[in-house]
Amino acid sequence: MAESVMHRAKRVDPVRPNMASRLLLLALRMQAGKVRKKKAAHAPRHDAVPETPTAEHGEDDITEIMREQAAASHRTQAGFLKALRKAMDAPSFPVGLSSLQVRRVVRVQVPGAAGPMAAKLYLPRGRIKGAVLFLHGGGFVHCGLNSHHGMCCRLARISGAAVLLPNYRLAPEHPFPAAADDALSALRWVSDLSRRFWGGAVAVAGDSAGGNLAAVVSQDAKAGLAPMPLLQLLYYPSLYGAREFPSHQHYAEGYFLSRRTMQWYGECYIAQPQDWSAPRFVPGESPDLRGLPSAVIITAECDPMRDEGAAYAKALRRAGVAVQYDCYKGALHGFLNFYAFMPYGKKALREGGRALRGAFAASR
């Protein structure tokens, strides 16, 4: 698979976000400011109440709220997580309209490592070419079947494959390796479904934390724990745990996802110190990447996690794995979630969907 890099000129970090990204950041800051003023006007002057996240907050705002919650009671923290998950699982485009792109969306129960998982199965029109396991992002802490609904509709339509979106267990209630174990169970299930109905071809995909899980189950499959995917499609993945990269510092704050938020996500997911270096949390540190599925890795230029995806692409190539790597100029982390008004979000979904379609066609 040939390399295709959307931003070839020598980069001098930090780069200014593109216009759509700047407008998004401005809108989030304005909305967050309005929310804070409204709360301040109604909150009692004594014993200030910790703020609750809403859909108007950006990742940096959520970080500040998390700091306020640090000293709160267990009950308040549970309320914070509930509010965070409600806000972050909001669809980026009306669910009903997104569903028009596919023949059918089926709610199913998928065997997980600790019991059944709710999931959605997206069936495209026409002859189904295989199956894709899509693992949603959200720092292992939030997002789910609504936040990534539109993305999966688009990927199913463009790839011509059935797409499974599982609701894997979330941290901190279910720390590592719960999400990875559920993802592996889902890969086994969807691989069997594809074998029974669609010729057996399967691929994995995911964004952010979901990109981590997609890379992890690809390595699990190489170890013989599940059928081998044809392709791993990784959108701005987290792959190296606590390892530092230059982009972590260049885009540490003010670019939607902050470095502090990344650290908080990691602390929620990783409960034991030794797990920070566990192979199923840091797939980028694997000493042997030979024999893994071909990869499409897409990163955002103004993202603290950008260099992780770039480093993994280089490591896979050195191991003889075919890789297509694209870095979207001026984009922010999580830009797929805003595809409804960011043209390059749609473009990245098209790129991934076409790569999946090509991989399925080549397997026949």
Catalytic residues: 208
Three-class SS state of 124 = coil
Nearest to 348 by CA among 277, 279, 297, 284: 297
Distance, in Å, from the CA atom of 127 to the CA atom of 125, rounded to the nearest integer, reads: 7
Q: Please, what is the Cα angle at 84 between 82 and 86, to 5 degrees?
A: 70
* Cβ within 8 Å of residue 283, ≥6 positions away: 212, 215, 216, 218, 219, 239, 312
Contact in structure between 214 and 205 (CB atoms under 8 Å): yes
Q: What does the chain come to in residues?
A: 364
Three-class SS state of 70 = coil
Q: Is the peptide bond before 246 cis (omega within 30 degrees of 0)?
A: no
Cα–Cα distance list, 286 to 112, 150, 195, 363 (Å)? 25, 33, 29, 27
DSSP class of residue 289 equals -
Strands 115-123 and 104-112: what pairing?
antiparallel
Kindly tell me the sign of the dihedral angle through the C-alpha atoms of 214, 218, 219, 225: positive
Distance, in Å, from the CA atom of 118 to the CA atom of 214, rounded to the nearest integer, reads: 18
* Cβ within 8 Å of residue 363, ≥6 positions away: 130, 201, 230
How many other CB atoms are there within 10 angstroms of residue 273's CB atom?
7
Q: What does the DSSP assignment read for 169-200?
A: --TTTS-TTHHHHHHHHHHHHHHHHHHHHS-S
